[in-house]
């Protein structure tokens, strides 16, 4: 018998996986993660943890695997014998799910079933607790505002439909086999580790690059979309809390506040010392620089147009508004988010400005630096 708990995290190389691994290691867990084989290194978000792997009492382990591969998942769970499984792995991009619907269903829906069935097949259903990364995208075409655990679902993308299967199969294994399995219905959460093609990171990264003269314009889709944005660090704390209860249950995790994509652009620009004025409508909407303060945006001039609309980023079906009601999490678990959207935005812009300045410095010294802007 080990003196500490053992956790297995799918999606450990992603945003949430990396923060959760840090949290669980701090709490004394032995942490195992599943990483995918890729032609380039894909462990950047956990490398700072992995570097300590020559220490004697190693507590962090990575295993090659994939949510599409049942035998691999079963073998890993058999070897690891986890007390807690956090299923964070997913094809997590809503827009991409319209391009790859079948793969998204395989990973996000059936991948969840594969894990649950592996736990059951191995006879671990009374030992292993299971956390499922469910999503506010389940609400899609919203039926009420704000959305809570009792709001009906109406998913609006192949991603959301796949996650709806995952949600219900988790409930089903709880009801059928008495498994401790729960859904965290998480609203959007971001951080400096957010993938570069999600809208917040795309914005903070572009604003930073534009301010340093590395990019000239940020192209966006639907800027009217409203989201309830929190910080990933706050949200992984809640993922752990959900598995420490007497009984398994499902919880909405949100801040209870929402802003539009356009407002997030303005906020990010202000963090870099740029005041933007939006004008025009629909496809002709633009944002123009009206004030520059501080010395972060020397590459810009008043009157520069730095945001435009590109219909390529519109989705076949859009989720216009999401606003969560986290009362249940607050009342039962005592969870309250600690980081505001403004603080999170400031942290993301500072991180991206730092990177952009490094790139600009290299470029000005004659090094050939390619900044990827295709999203
Ligand atoms: P990321 O996209 O940052 O991370 C996704 C992780 O899943 C990565 O580690 C990725 O590996 C891994 N993955 C992708 N496909 C597979 C596969 N076939 N087999 C195994 N692993 C795979 O997502 P987040 O960290 O932001 O989100 C974590 C989870 O929470 C996801 O399930 C997401 O759908 C869900 N969610 C996220 C929200 C958010 O706002 N962030 C809100 C609600 C739910 P690789 O690094 O190799 O690509
Ligand atoms: P979302 O996040 O779809 O809510 O899913 P994303 O950041 O991709 O989009 C948020 C909103 O911004 C609009 N938008 C754009 N989005 C992207 N990516 N790129 C653009 O250029 C752009 N312009 C406008 C979108 O249309 C949308 O309305 C995220 C993921 O993390 C999911 O895995 C998770 O389940 C949900 O959050 C909750």
Q: pLDDT 10s per residue in the chain (375 long)? A: 788 999 999 999 999 999 999 999 999 999 999 999 999 999 999 999 976 556 677 899 999 999 999 999 999 999 999 999 999 999 999 999 999 999 999 999 999 999 999 999 999 999 999 999 999 999 999 999 999 999 999 999 999 999 999 999 999 999 999 999 999 999 999 999 999 999 999 999 999 999 999 999 999 999 999 999 999 999 999 999 999 999 999 999 999 999 999 999 999 999 999 999 999 999 999 999 999 999 988 899 999 999 999 999 999 999 999 999 999 999 999 999 999 999 999 999 999 999 999 999 999 999 988 777 665
Whether 135 is a known active-site residue: answer yes
Confidence at residue 371, expressed as pLDDT on a 0 to 100 scale: 78
Nearest to 36 by CA among 90, 96, 81: 90
Round to whole Å and give the CA distance between 284 and 310: 9
Asked if 342 and 267 touch (Cβ cutoff 8 Å), the reply is yes
Map residue 364 onto helix, strand or coil.
helix
Looking at the CA of residue 160, tell me the nearest atom of ligand 2.
35
Chain centre to alpha carbon of residue 66: 19
- How much distance in Å is there from the Cα of 339 to the middle of ligand 2? 20
How do strand 226-227 and strand 259-260 relate by DSSP bridges?
antiparallel
- Residue pair 8/77 in contact (Cβ under 8 Å)? The answer is yes
d(CA 136, CA 147): 8
pLDDT on residue 55: 67
- From the centroid of its chain, how far is CA 102? 21
**Active-site annotation holder among 131, 159, 180, 235:** 159
User: CA-to-CA distance for 350 and 192, rounded, in angstroms?
Assistant: 9
221 Cβ inside 6 Å of ligand 2: yes
Q: Which one, of 56, 61, 1, lies nearest residue 25 by Cα?
A: 61
112 CA to middle of ligand 1, Å?
Answer: 13
CA of 319 from ligand 2 middle (Å) equals 9
Q: Is 261 in the pocket of ligand 2 (CB under 6 A)?
A: yes
Using the mean position of ligand 1's atoms as its centre, give its distance from the Cα of residue 304 in Å: 36
Its ipTM equals 0.99
Q: Which tokens belong to 266? A: 């303005």
Residue of 41, 88, 184, 234 to mutate, ligand 1, most atoms within 8 A of C-beta: 88
Element housing 47 (H / E): helix 47-50
- Could you tell me the pTM of the whole model? 0.97
Ligand 1 binding pocket includes 188 (Cβ within 6 Å): yes
CA–CA distance, 27 with 366 (Å, rounded to integer): 46
Which residues are CB-contacts of 224 (< 8 A; sequence separation ≥ 6)? 260, 261, 262, 320
For residue 126, how many C-alpha atoms fall within 13 Å in the half-sphere facing its CB? 1
233 Cβ partners below 8 Å, 6+ apart? 19, 191, 339
Ligand 1 close to Cβ of residue 253 (< 6 A)? no
Active site residue 137: yes
Phi/psi for 91 (5° steps) reads -80, 100
N-term to C-term CA, the chain: 48
Q: Which of 112, 135, 151, 200 is catalytic?
A: 135
Residue nearest atom 4 in ligand 2 by C-alpha distance = 188
pLDDT of 137: 98
**Model pLDDT, residue 1:** 74
What three-state secondary structure class fits 307? strand
């Amino acid at each position: 018998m080990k003196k500490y708990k053992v956790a297995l995290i799918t999606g450990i190389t992603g945003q949430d996986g990396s923060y959760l691994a840090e949290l669980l290691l701090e709490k004394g867990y032995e942490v195992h993660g599943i990483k995918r084989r890729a032609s380039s290194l894909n462990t950047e978000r956990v490398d700072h943890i992995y570097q300590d792997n020559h220490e004697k009492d190693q507590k962090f382990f990575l295993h090659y695997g994939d949510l599409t591969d049942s035998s691999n998942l079963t073998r890993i769970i058999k070897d690891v014998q986890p007390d807690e499984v956090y299923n964070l792995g997913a094809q997590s991009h809503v827009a991409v799910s319209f391009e790859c619907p079948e793969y998204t269903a395989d990973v996000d829906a059936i991948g969840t079933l594969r894990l649950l069935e592996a736990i059951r097949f191995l006879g671990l259903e009374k030992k292993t607790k299971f956390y499922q990364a469910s999503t506010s995208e389940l609400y899609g075409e919203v039926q009420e505002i704000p959305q809570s655990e009792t709001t009906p679902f109406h998913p609006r993308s192949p991603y959301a439909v796949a996650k709806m299967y995952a949600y219900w199969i988790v409930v089903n294994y709880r009801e059928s086999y008495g498994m401790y399995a729960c859904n965290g219905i998480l609203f959007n959460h971001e951080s400096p580790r957010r993938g570069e093609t999600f809208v917040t990171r795309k914005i903070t990264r572009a604003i930073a690059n534009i301010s340093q003269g590395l990019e000239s314009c940020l192209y966006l889709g639907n800027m009217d979309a409203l989201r309830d944005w929190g910080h990933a660090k706050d949200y992984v704390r809640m993922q752990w809390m959900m598995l420490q209860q007497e009984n398994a249950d499902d919880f909405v995790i949100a801040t209870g506040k929402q802003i539009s994509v356009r407002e997030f652009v303005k906020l990010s620009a202000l963090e870099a010392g740029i005041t933007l004025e939006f004008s025009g409508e629909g496809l002709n909407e633009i944002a123009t620089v009206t004030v520059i303060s501080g010395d972060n945006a020397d590459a810009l001039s008043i009157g520069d147009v730095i945001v435009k609309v590109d219909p390529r980023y519109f989705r076949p079906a859009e989720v216009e508004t999401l606003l969560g009601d986290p009362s249940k999490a607050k009342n039962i678990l005592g969870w309250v988010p600690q980081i505001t959207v403004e603080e999170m935005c400031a942290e993301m812009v500072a991180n991206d400005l730092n990177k952009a300045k490094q790139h600009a410095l290299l470029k000005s010294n004659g090094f050939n630096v390619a900044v990827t802007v295709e999203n």
